[in-house]
Amino acid sequence: METAVRVQDVTQVYVTEERATLALQNITFELKKGEFVSFIGPSGCGKTTLLSIIAGLLPPTKGEVTVSNQLVRSPSTKVGYMLQQDYLFPWRTIADNASMGLEIAGMLTNESRQRSLYLLEEMGLLPFKDYYPAQLSGGMRQRVALVRTLAAEPELLLLDEPFSALDYQTKLQLEELVVETLRAKQKTAILVTHDIGEAIAMSDRIFVLAPNPGRVRQTFEIPAAIRAAVPLEARELPQFHRLFREIWQEFGGAGHGES
């Protein structure tokens, strides 16, 4: 299958007056088209730095990133970024928020606006298209943010803890919606999360990062039985619990919860 993302020997050093921090050291991996991977690891291991480099927001000190065989030098509509906060504009309707990414990218046409309305429908949000963000729940707002990200038809989605501000039930529903939507559209995705359970339930592969210097400590392939299930069902499987314990031990069992 074709390679969607190639991260080659990426190293990032932050230099301040006080110190130089090796935030990432020689990170190398490849993702196939349609693959969903997660990065987990303690605070400060370089997760946000890595996403910023892949998004083209930060040039790496060393190494390179290609998305669909094109070198990443600056942000592009090929890469969609979804964050913990939805960053919807309170004065714009849901439909106008959903098409905002298209507008900013200069891609707003009748056709692309229609596509964002269709995505709103897929996410069960069409009845709310004329509402304002304050009239929606946190989970609904994150769904609008997902529509906004998908409307520009990115080839790669970067998901930086997009569910961490939601209650547990909403989080599970959104995990399922995101996995099913991305699988159906064959989108490649990179999720950053502190939640081991979420990473196992959603991914094909998990990279565990370690800090000082930020590096890949271990990689886990997710068993087929888990990948075949939707996230809620995946959590019931014995393979899920075995893997959870294995990754938990990798962390020393501290500071990381299933919820």
**Footprint on this chain of ligand ATP (rule: CB under 6 A):** 14, 16, 21, 23, 43-49, 214
Shortest spacing between CB 177 and ligand ATP, in angstroms? 24
Angle between helices 138-151 and 110-122 in degrees, nearest 10: 140
Nearer to ligand ATP, 47 or 227 (CB): 47
Sequence-separated (6 or more) residues with CB below 8 Å from residue 49: 12, 23, 24, 58, 214
Q: Does 127 sit behind a cis peptide bond, omega within 30 degrees of 0 on the bond before it? A: no
Residue type, 68: S
Supply the minimum distance, in Å, between the C-beta of residue 126 and ligand ATP.
35
d(C-alpha 233, C-alpha 201), whole Å: 9
For every residue of 87-138, DSSP letters joined together read: ---TTS-HHHHHTHHHHHTT---HHHHHHHHHHHHHTT-GGGTTS-GGGS-H
Rounded to the nearest angstrom, the gap between the alpha carbon of residue 10 and the centroid of all alpha carbons in its chain is 19
Please, which residue, 182 or 208, has the CB nearer to ligand ATP? 208
Q: Cβ 169 to ligand ATP, closest distance in Å?
A: 24
Q: How far is the CB of 134 from ligand ATP (least distance, A)?
A: 27
Tell me how far, at minimum, the Cβ of 168 lies from ligand ATP, in Å: 20
Q: Which is nearer to ligand ATP, 48 or 93 (CB)?
A: 48
Q: Which CB atom, from 3 or from 61, has the smaller least distance to ligand ATP?
A: 61
Shortest distance in whole angstroms from residue 21 CB to ligand ATP: 5
Of 72, 30, 51, 65, residue with least CA distance to 193: 51
Name the residue nearer to ligand ATP (CB basis): 95 or 247.
247
- Cβ neighbours for 14, distance < 8 A, ≥ 6 positions apart: 20, 21, 23
